């Protein structure tokens, strides 16, 4: 963790991310790609618009967590807050849509997105709890 006052918040976060294992960096890339594929569906699916809104809102929500802790692991708190509701919303929307098909491109994307969010949130909860337990000692 970089504490140099001359280091910008973004540079500090970037340096911490570069120190993460390559598999974690690849996972972060995967998450971004899966969310951004939603751009293909925004014109025909309201839920894709909500997904992209949650993706975009996640950044400004993450800023206070990072400013307070200067810990990249705490960026996951914004994922928990912004993405977890999608795990309820997306299946409910799919169930209401008689045209929804798991075999369509949109259906495959929805399933991949939900799996990605689930895995991400599990890791994020673990990281946040780890940070909290380290701070409480």
Q: How far apart are the C-alpha atoms of 103 and 133, rounded to whole Å?
A: 43
**pLDDT score recorded for residue 137:** 79
Q: How many helices (H) and strands (E) does the chain have?
A: 6, 0
Structural domains of the chain, count: 1
Flag whether 3 is in a domain.
Answer: no
Q: Which pLDDT band, with edges at 50, 70 and 90, does 42 fall under?
A: very high
Which residue would you say has higher pLDDT here, 107 or 70?
A: 107
Structure tokens at 97: 């849509």
Three-class DSSP category at 54: helix
Flag whether 1 is in a domain.
Answer: no
Backbone φ, ψ for residue 64 (5° rounding)? -60, -35
Q: Which pLDDT band, with edges at 50, 70 and 90, does 15 fall under?
A: confident
91 burial type by CB count under 10 A (0-12 exposed, 13-18 middle, 19+ buried): middle
Q: How far is CA 23 from the centre of its chain?
A: 16
pTM: 0.86
Closest CA to 32 of 1, 69, 58: 58
pLDDT above 90: residue 7 = no
**pLDDT score recorded for residue 20:** 80
Flag whether 66 is in a domain.
Answer: yes
CB 24 within 8 A of CB 34: no
Flag whether 79 is in a domain.
Answer: yes
pLDDT above 70: residue 111 = yes
- The domain containing residue 107 runs over which residues? 9-135
Flag whether 74 is in a domain.
Answer: yes
Angle at 90 between CA 84 and CA 93, to 5 degrees: 145
Flag whether 76 is in a domain.
Answer: yes
Residues 6+ apart with CB under 8 A from 117: 79, 83, 84, 86, 87
pLDDT above 60: residue 48 = yes
The tens digit of pLDDT for each residue in 66-96 reads: 888 888 888 899 999 999 999 999 999 999 9
């Amino acid at each position: 963790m970089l504490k140099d006052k001359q280091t910008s918040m973004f540079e500090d976060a970037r340096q911490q991310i570069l120190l993460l294992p390559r598999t974690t960096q690849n996972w972060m890339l995967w998450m971004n790609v899966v969310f951004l594929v939603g751009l293909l569906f925004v014109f025909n699916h309201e839920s894709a618009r909500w997904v992209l809104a949650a993706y975009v809102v996640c950044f400004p929500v993450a800023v206070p967590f990072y400013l307070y802790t200067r810990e990249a692991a705490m960026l996951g708190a914004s994922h928990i807050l912004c993405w977890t509701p999608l795990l309820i919303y997306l299946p409910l929307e799919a169930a209401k849509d008689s045209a929804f098909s798991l075999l369509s491109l949109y259906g495959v994307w929805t399933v991949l997105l939900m799996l990605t969010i689930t895995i991400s949130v599990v890791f994020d909860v673990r990281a946040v709890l780890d940070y909290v337990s380290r701070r409480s000692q």
